[in-house]
Amino acid sequence: MIHRRHALRAAAALSLLALAPGRVLAAEPRTLRIGYQKSSTLIALLKQDGSLEKALEPLKVGLTWHEFTSGLPVMEALNAGQIDLSADVADTVPIFAQAANARITYVAQEAASPAAQAIVVGADSPIKTVADLKGRKVAVTKGAGSHYLLLAALKAEGIPFKAITPAYLTPADGRTALASGGVEAWVAWDPFLSAAELQSGARILKDGTGLSLYKRYYLASDDYAAKHGDILDIVFAKLRDTGTWVKANPDEAATRLGALWKLDPAIVAKANARRTYVVEPVTREGLSEQQTIADAFRAEGLLPRAVDASALGIWAPTKS
pLDDT tens, residue by residue, 197-255:
999 999 999 999 999 999 999 999 999 999 999 999 999 999 999 999 999 999 999 99
Q: What angle do the packed helices 92-99 and 288-299 form, to 10 degrees?
A: 60
Architecture of domain 114-207: 3-Layer(aba) Sandwich (3.40)
The pTM (predicted TM-score) of the whole model is: 0.87
Q: Is the per-residue pLDDT at 8 higher than 70? A: no
Helices (H), the chain: 2-19, 41-49, 51-56, 71-79, 92-99, 145-156, 171-180, 192-200, 222-227, 229-248, 250-261, 265-273, 288-299
Whole-number CA gyration radius for the chain = 24
pLDDT tens, residue by residue, 138-166:
999 999 999 999 999 999 999 999 999 99
Cis peptide before 281 (omega within 30 of 0): no
Domain 30-112+215-314 has CATH 3.90.1580.10: no
Annotate 155-170 with three-state secondary structure. HHCCCCHHHCEEEECC
Q: Please, where in the chain does CATH 3.40.190.10 lie?
A: 30-112+215-314, 114-207
Q: What is the mean pLDDT of residues 257-281?
A: 97
Amino acid of residue 142? K
Q: Are 87 and 65 in contact (CB under 8 A)?
A: no
Alpha-carbon torsion 43, 141, 312, 104, what sign?
negative
Neighbours of 122 (CB within 10 A): 19
Strands of the sheet with 165-168, listed across from one edge? 165-168, 137-140, 185-189, 117-121, 203-207
